[in-house]
Structure 1
């Protein structure tokens, strides 16, 4: 009696389309920060919009074509944080951007906290996948940045445009705080359940 040879699945290579897209987004993020330093608001807006708009593509491609890699799982959220946190920090340095230092601090602190919680939970074998509040948080953050960049790029920015920027910034901060709290509760529950088992 002969047995069929066993085959082991070959792990996906790191040289794939999702990781290439993430690499492109990384350089776009660096470009946004550099352009803001030179007050090139419209080119920064274009670069940021492309980077933010293609954020979902690498994850979608990786899942659809089975190209999820350990590098991608680490590199993709890292680049997301460079895009968002780096841009907010750069905007703080620009007079009249409406981005106060405390706004950048809240956003960066939330990202550091959730990243630490994710590393702790997943390091222990748990699943700490992204939640919808976290995804919508990034949508609002991107929208706020885009509106602020448009306002900075206009010669005579109308008052209503800056009001829209202020509202979008407050909405982004509110959802950032809510999302962070939701992740804290989820992590606490996982740790509590793990301690009981």
Structure 2
């Protein structure tokens, strides 16, 4: 039975974040079945909901406590899951260690955010985290497109493969850089608190 607060808690941004988790799971199934083009389309749909839910929440002042938890969780499911599956895929140019690095960074930032927001500190996303997400998404998109071409019996060009490698390197650099930024921020906040 619906209550008066359901419309506030399950507002448009939170529904989009929940949908992103569903689209992510479908994307994972498609990758496992080697339907890389379907996986690519589902990944793009999932990534698009990340932009729309944030824009909607800010524009219509619909930021909720649930949204502050659900939105980054949905992001982590999408990014970590796709990197893990691509890191395990044969013929992928994303090494498994990159998937481990991406997942470790996300777990660390989540733990730090939980610790500091539990102490009423603001630990919201910074520009470096947003750049990191964009570069990681580009690496996934290019990788899924390459896997689709290979699965379809089409060749990839050395130029495309080199571009993908450069984007993966940029994703690694931005992952480490943004993660270190959050660690420094957390250290500073903990020193202030003590």
Specify the TM-score bucket, using the shorter chain as the normaliser. Answer: over 0.9
What CA deviation, in whole Å up to 9, does each residue of 1:58-106 have, x standing for no partner? 1221122122111111111000000000000011221111111110110
Please show how residues 118-129 of structure 1 align to structure 2 within 5 Å. Answer: 118-129=113-124
Q: Does 1:74 align with 2:69?
A: yes
The whole-number CA distance in structure 1 between the counterparts of 2:138 and 2:102 is 14
Q: Does 1:20 align with 2:15?
A: yes
Provide the aligned C-alpha RMSD in A. Answer: 1.4
Give the C-alpha shift of residue 141 in structure 1: 0.1
Residue from 79, 87, 91 that aligns with 1:92: 87
Aligned residues: 186
Q: Is the 8 A contact 1:41 1:152 kept in 2?
A: yes
Instruction: Kindly indicate which of the two structures has a greater share of residues assigned to helix.
Output: 2
The whole-number CA distance in structure 2 between the counterparts of 1:142 and 1:15 is 26
Q: Is the 8 A contact 2:105 2:179 kept in 1?
A: yes
Computing the radius of gyration from Cα coordinates, the structure with the larger value is: 1
Residue from 36, 41, 59 that aligns with 1:41: 36
Give the C-alpha shift of residue 22 in structure 1: 1.1
Q: TM-score, normalised by structure 1?
A: 0.91
Partner of 1:113: 108
Partner of 1:173: 172
Give the C-alpha shift of residue 191 in structure 1: 0.7
Q: Is the 8 A contact 1:12 1:66 kept in 2?
A: no
| Runs of 5+ unmatched residues, structure 1 | 1-9
- Secondary structure of residue in 1 paired with 2:8: coil
Residue from 64, 78, 89 that aligns with 2:59: 64
Partner of 1:157: 156
Q: TM-score, normalised by structure 2?
A: 0.92
The whole-number CA distance in structure 2 between the counterparts of 1:122 and 1:24 is 25
Give the C-alpha shift of residue 182 in structure 1: 0.7
The whole-number CA distance in structure 1 between the counterparts of 2:164 and 2:29 is 22
- Secondary structure of residue in 2 paired with 1:173: helix
The whole-number CA distance in structure 2 between the counterparts of 1:118 and 1:12 is 27
- Secondary structure of residue in 2 paired with 1:124: coil
